[in-house]
């Protein structure tokens, strides 16, 4: 199993997280925002040194939770300080951005990282894909699917071409520079809805799920693997990504204390997960507790056991981990990353999922 650290650059002013987006810009102290970026870039460098396999970035708008309204500048900074790990765009919002511009940025970032880029064009939640103006929910998914196909074609083609589609029309596309990874950097798609997972399989893309309980993840991935088999290929563990919150402390008691304030009160609903399966007694990490928690938490030993149980049920190959919800002090975030890298990673790196035939 591989591990990824989300370089979320969560704003370190805890009070700003008490309001749901859109959060007024007056709540942002520019100096504190700059400090937040500095800390998260240092966490990324630390994770790289500790053996994390990926460092990821994700686009969010009008919110202090993730200070990345564009993934390209943050990923560009990471290419200069992360020397070994892959840099994963998980991802740019293809539903609201120019897909040709995204392809250009992907190619440039693949060059700057010397061929270490990974890409997941995202649809986003309604609060995200409506950031720049109303977009019908029913149109957001086909728009993202077409954008994903266009991005891939723009990265692959060696001659100029025109694109005429349902949502995008470009008379001339010619991406410079070309990406180092050929035919293109590894690409993924969201699996948070079953039909998105089937689309990913049909397009030979990896798949990423976020904040779902293990039973839902397992069911979705079975459908994904079956659809992949129907299209003549077999996903590897690296094709299967899961994003979740995480915290590690020296003891379970300390982890419980940090967990109590991991997210602002108005955001604790995020720990319940987005599906009916994440009911009031479902922890979402192979354990049960009350109230619900979509969070891997505990001492290194406890956390490794919970991740091991989660993988045994889901066959996930890559964990994309969020080490803060904007309320955890910087010293505790750094210590959590250090504990994970030094004591949890060695316990999970050798885990190999056992997957039944689709």
Residue 357 lies in a domain: no
The total number of structural domains that make up the chain: 1
Q: Give the strand pairing for 161-164 and 169-173.
A: antiparallel
For residue 279, pLDDT beyond 80:
no
pLDDT at 355 (0 to 100): 61
Residue 358 lies in a domain: no
Residue 356 lies in a domain: no
| pLDDT digits 0-9 by tens, 207-254 | 999 999 999 999 999 999 999 999 999 999 999 999 999 999 999 999
Residue 33 lies in a domain: yes
User: Taking each helix axis from N to C terminus, what angle separates 30-50 and 71-81, rounded to the nearest 10 degrees?
Assistant: 50
For residue 296, pLDDT beyond 90:
yes
State the residue range of the domain holding 89: 2-348
Helices (H), the chain: 30-50, 71-81, 99-112, 126-129, 137-156, 194-202, 214-230, 252-259, 300-314, 330-339, 345-348
Residue 48 lies in a domain: yes
pLDDT at 292 (0 to 100): 39
For residue 126, pLDDT beyond 60:
yes
pLDDT at 265 (0 to 100): 86
pLDDT at 285 (0 to 100): 34
For residue 281, pLDDT beyond 60:
no
Mean pLDDT calculated for residue range 135-147:
93
Residue (of 8, 146, 175) closest to 90 by Cα position: 8
Residue 17 lies in a domain: yes
Q: CATH number of the domain that 46 lies in?
A: 3.20.20.30
pLDDT at 129 (0 to 100): 87
């Amino acid at each position: 199993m591989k591990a990824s650290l989300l370089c979320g650059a969560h704003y370190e002013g805890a009070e700003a997280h008490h309001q749901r987006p859109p959060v007024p810009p007056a709540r942002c102290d520019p100096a504190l925002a700059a400090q937040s970026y500095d800390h998260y870039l240092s966490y990324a460098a630390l994770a790289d040194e500790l053996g994390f396999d990926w460092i990821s970035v994700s686009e969010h708008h009008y919110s202090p939770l993730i200070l990345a309204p564009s993934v390209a500048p943050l990923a560009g900074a990471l290419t200069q300080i992360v020397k070994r790990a892959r840099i994963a765009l998980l991802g740019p919002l293809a539903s609201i951005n120019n897909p040709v511009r995204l392809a250009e940025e992907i190619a440039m970032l693949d060059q700057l990282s010397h061929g270490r880029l990974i890409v997941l064009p995202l649809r986003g939640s309604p609060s995200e894909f409506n950031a720049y103006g109303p977009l019908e929910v029913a149109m957001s998914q086909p728009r993202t699917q077409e954008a994903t196909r266009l991005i891939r074609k723009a990265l692959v083609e060696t001659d100029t071409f025109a694109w005429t589609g349902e949502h995008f029309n470009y008379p001339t596309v010619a991406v410079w520079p070309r990406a180092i990874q050929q035919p293109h950097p590894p690409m993924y798609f969201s699996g948070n809805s079953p039909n998105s997972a089937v689309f990913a399989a049909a397009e030979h893309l990896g798949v990423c799920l976020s904040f779902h309980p293990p039973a839902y993840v397992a069911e979705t991935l079975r459908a994904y693997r079956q659809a992949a088999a129907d299209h003549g290929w077999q996903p590897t563990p690296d094709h299967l990504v899961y994003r979740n919150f995480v915290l590690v402390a020296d003891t379970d008691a300390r982890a419980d204390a940090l967990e109590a304030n991991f997210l602002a009160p108005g955001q604790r609903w995020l720990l319940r997960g987005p599906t009916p399966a994440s009911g009031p007694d479902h922890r979402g990490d192979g354990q049960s507790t009350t109230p619900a928690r979509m969070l891997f938490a505990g001492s290194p030993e406890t956390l490794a056991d919970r991740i091991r149980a989660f993988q045994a049920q889901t066959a996930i190959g890559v964990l994309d981990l969020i080490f803060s919800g904007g309320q955890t002090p910087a010293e505790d975030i750094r210590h959590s990353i250090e504990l994970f890298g030094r004591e949890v990673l060695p316990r999970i790196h050798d885990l190999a999922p056992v997957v039944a035939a689709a």
